Amino acid sequence: MQTQAPAEPILPFTDALSDDDLDATNTGVVIGRQPATLHIRGWLASHSVRAMALFELLACGRRVMPFGYLPGDPYGSYIGYLTPTETSSLASRLEGLQAPEMHEAEAEHQAFLRHQSLESEHSKRMIDEVAPIHAGAFLDAVRIAAQQRLGLICSIG
């Protein structure tokens, strides 16, 4: 039995970036800390359950990192990721969706905080029902990554 050589040579993984290059490429989009991610999650759920589920894989710790995440490891600050295919799927679910106006989202968040202690338990809004302040940056990041056929990774901290 004779085997044929693969059509393309298998290349070993190499990290082309030196430590000096890390600052130049270490850019990202801030989508906020825990309350802000819950706002985005709830906002996405009102538009598409699939978009919300993909967001949870990215930013809510719903999947194990593929490179052996353990707290305290160098990669311990990463909470989730989307593959290029998942990013494309998320972008298609978000097509045509407009982010809430920043000033309206900020006013809604402040009103939520003020009324949290004043309202009765039965009439309180859930934190997921507050318009997200960082939705525009999130939408832009997803659309750009999908256009470039990239995945996304989310870090915390």
d(CA 12, CA 99): 42
CA-based nearest residue to 142, from 39, 27, 29 = 29
152 class by beta-carbon count within 10 Å (0-12 exposed, 13-18 middle, 19+ buried):
buried
User: For each of the chain's 157 residues, which pLDDT tens digit applies?
Assistant: 444 444 443 333 333 434 444 343 456 777 766 777 888 888 899 899 999 999 998 888 887 777 666 655 665 677 888 999 999 999 999 999 888 888 888 887 777 777 776 655 555 666 666 677 788 888 999 999 999 999 998 887 6
Strands (E), the chain: 78-82, 152-155
pLDDT tens string 99-125: 888 888 888 777 777 777 665 555 566
Angle formed at CA 50 by CA 68 and CA 83, multiple of 5 degrees = 35
The pTM of the full predicted model, rounded to 2 decimals, is: 0.68
Looking at residue 22, its pLDDT comes to 37
Looking at residue 3, its pLDDT comes to 43
Cross-strand bridge partners of residue 80:
154
Any domain includes 3: no
Domain count, the chain: 1
d(CA 28, CA 60): 17
Any domain includes 92: yes
Any domain includes 108: yes
Backbone angles phi, psi at 14, to 5 degrees: -130, 145
**Structural domain span for residue 49:** 31-62+77-116+126-155
Strands (E), 4-155: 78-82, 152-155
| Cβ neighbours for 19, distance < 8 A, ≥ 6 positions apart | none
Any domain includes 56: yes
Distance of CA 43 to the CA centre of its chain: 13
d(CA 99, CA 51): 14
